[in-house]
Every structure is written in C-alpha cells, then in structure tokens.
Structure 1
Amino acid sequence: MVYGTGSDRVTLGRLGKTHGLQGWLRLDSFTDPVLNITEYRRFFASRGPQQELVMDQVQEQGSKLLAHFEGFDDPEAAQQLVGAELQIAASELPDLSDDQYYWHQLIGLTVTNREGQLLGQVDRMLETGANDVLVVKATAASIDEHERLIPYLRDTVVRRVNLDQGNIEVEWGADYLLE
C-alpha cells in the first residue's frame, strides 16, 4: 500500500461513507492498534482535492472510527473524500530497530530459499493473529508458478531480510506449498 510520487508515501487508512450533517466520515484505520492513526494530523488523499488534509477531530463510535477534516464541514464537501486512502510520507513513520520492518518495506522483495531457489516476490502481507504471512507470487524467473504463503517467523522461517539487495531468504523448501 505505497502511493504518491514514488514510494515515499504510505497508506494508513481509508475513508468510508459520510456520517451526519457536519462532514464526518467513517475511517478504516490500517494501523495497529487502530487508534495509532490519531498520532498523525496531516495526510495526503489518494483522491479528491489535491491538497493536504488536516484531521481535526476523531471519534470512536462503537468499534468504528469517525474522522473530520478541516474545511469539509458538510456531507456534500466530505463526499469528495469517500473512498480516499489517507497517506503520509514514509519518513514520518517511527524508526524501528534493525531487525524490524514495516510491511510496505517487504512488499516487492524477492524471496529465495536457503538452496538459492527463487520462490517469487512478496505481493502482500496477511495478518493471521498468530503471525504475519508473506504472500509470495511467482515471477517469470521463479522455480515454478505457485503462489506461496510463508509465515513471517524471524530466525526460524525468515532467515535474512536485505532491503538494499531487495531480498528475503527463507528456510522454505520449494515443495512446501500452502495455498
């Protein structure tokens, strides 16, 4: 979920339908925990007016979040933001330790096993509760055409991540197919 002028923007949430008469919108936060999105006030929208959006209020309504943005004070104005993804510059994300990565950093990396076989490229990540999962899609140079679901378990399955080389090395046989 990286958008913008190059890969410098990261999507933190998506705006849903309008709510009420004062320009509120439903907010689907992609952060974990979901309220972490409230640590940011300024966003770029993937659609609608090409301007910086300032989130001036957030409310919890049951298990849902509602957001209000400066200058969008009625349902008609807010309607142009419905479906927009809220993005920030990747540089605004908190720094992680050397062995931690944001999902957007892993998407697009090639995946090889310890035998040097190219299994494919990370297409997306899944959150399963127990652990995250790499969804690895085959490329033209892969050993076969299979999609693989590889658990993101550091040191047991994921042996090495090298962002500079664009590669993840895994302890995963070519015959391990979890589809």
Structure 2
Amino acid sequence: MQQSEQIVVGRIGAVYGVKGWLKVQSFTDDPESIFEYSPWLLSQKTEREMKVVEWRRHNNGLIARLEGISDRDEAARLTGADICITADELPALADDEFYWRDLIGMRVVNTNGYDMGVVEQIMPTASNDVLVVKANSNDGFGKSERLIPFIQSEYVTAVDKEAKQIQVEWPSDF
C-alpha cells in the first residue's frame, strides 16, 4: 500500500503554562480548522502521532493540550514540530479551486503561446496570491523570474490539472 503524501498544516509553538499546553500556529485558511484533523503527525527529528485532547483560543492565537502530555517539560520537547496530515485528509475542491501544492511545478503559458516557465512557489499577499514563475534558462526576454497575480478570469485564464499547465493573460516581456 502506497503511503499518502504528508502536508504541513501548522507548527507547534512555545509551551503555555505548566500543565502541558502548547501554542499552535495554524497554516489553514480558517485557523481553527486545524483541529478538525486527527490525529496529527508531529514531525521534528522523528515523527510521532498525537491526538488533541482539548484546544481553545488564547488572545489572538490558539493553544492545545495533546494526549499523553501533562507537564511543561514533556510539552517543551514538541516545540518547533511541524503538524502534518496526509493528503487524502484534505477536503475535496470544486473544479475551479486548487491547493497551492497542485499548482507548484505547473508550466505557465501566456495566451499568445509563449512558455513563461514553471511555478516555483506561490507567495501570499494582502490582496491576492502571486505565482512565482521561474523562467526558462533560454528565455527570449532575459527574465529569470516572473511574478504573476493569481487572479482567475483576469490574469489566470485557465488551469489544466491534467496537462499541468496554467494559461495566463500576461505579456511575454514583463
């Protein structure tokens, strides 16, 4: 049986109090939805499966108590660990929705057919996500990288998951 890809959905922060509570940094769209996943696979130097016993909001953040962790010293050993889930635990998306991980590595071609390069990463900004496209080594315009706003229907005209290609309305020389 093939093991499912692991997705990092958060990180364990500092210890909170003396009873084993930990601060939790969530990378999910809705920060509290990190607690919908169980168990967590904590990944540090080794991997360890943990269940959340209870959690709550604290100031502007989240704190949680994990099964088997009852004091500050035990909790301290988990600080800095990535909180992972398996890819098959992610919710299904509509046809016009995408996980960032699915867009990374896709080829980007503009509406004139010019090969702009490959999505290297996606950068979040206050207004919209931005595709960081690594240009081809022989780019005709001498570009090494392009930043293209991921705004569907305006700049991103099509995403073909099967062909692993994104079509954009973007000038070749920009």
In the other structure, the counterpart of 2:55 is 58
- How far has the Cα of 1:75 moved from its partner? 2.1
Given candidates 144, 147, 150, the residue that maps to 1:152 is 150
C-alpha displacement of 1:6: 7.6
1:59·1:65 contact (CA, 8 Å) conserved in 2? Answer: yes
Question: Over aligned residue pairs, what C-alpha RMSD do you find?
Answer: 2.1
Q: 1:15 to 1:77 in 2, by over 3 A?
A: same
Q: Shift of residue 49 of structure 1?
A: 4.5
CA distance in 1, matches of 2:6, 2:84: 6
Distance 1:48 1:72 in 2: 18
Match of 1:74 in 2: 71
Deviation track 1:71-95 (CA, whole Å, cap 9, x = no partner) reads: 1222222222211111111111111
Q: CA deviation at 1:152?
A: 0.9
User: More deviation in 93-102 or 133-142?
Assistant: 133-142
Q: Aligned in 2, Cα 1:140/1:45: closer, same or farther, shift over 3 Å?
A: farther
Alignment partner, residue 172 of structure 1: 170
2:38 equivalent to 1:37: no
- In structure 2, relative to structure 1, the CA distance for the partners of 1:44 and 1:140 (3 Å cut) is farther
Tell me if the contact between 2:137 and 2:144 (Cα under 8 Å) persists in the aligned partners: no
CA 1:21–1:166 in 2, change beyond 3 Å: closer, same or farther? same
Residue identity in the other structure for 1:79: A
Cα deviation digits, residues 45-74 of structure 1 (max 9, x gap): 221542311122212111011122111222
Q: Are 2:12 and 2:24, in contact at CA under 8 Å, matched by a contact in 1?
A: yes
Check conservation: 2:24, 2:63, Cα contact below 8 A: yes
> 1:109-130, CA deviations, whole angstroms, 9 ceiling, x for partnerless residues?
2212122222222222223232
Task: Identify which of 91, 102, 108 aligns with 2:105.
Answer: 108
Cα distance in 2 for residues equivalent to 1:20 and 1:116: 58
Give the SS at the match of 1:154: coil
Matched-pair contact (CA < 8 Å) for 2:104–2:120: yes
**Residue identity opposite 2:119 in structure 1:** V
State the SS of the aligned residue for 2:47.
coil
Are the structure 2 counterparts of residues 135 and 7 from structure 1 closer, same or farther at C-alpha, using a change threshold of 3 Å? farther
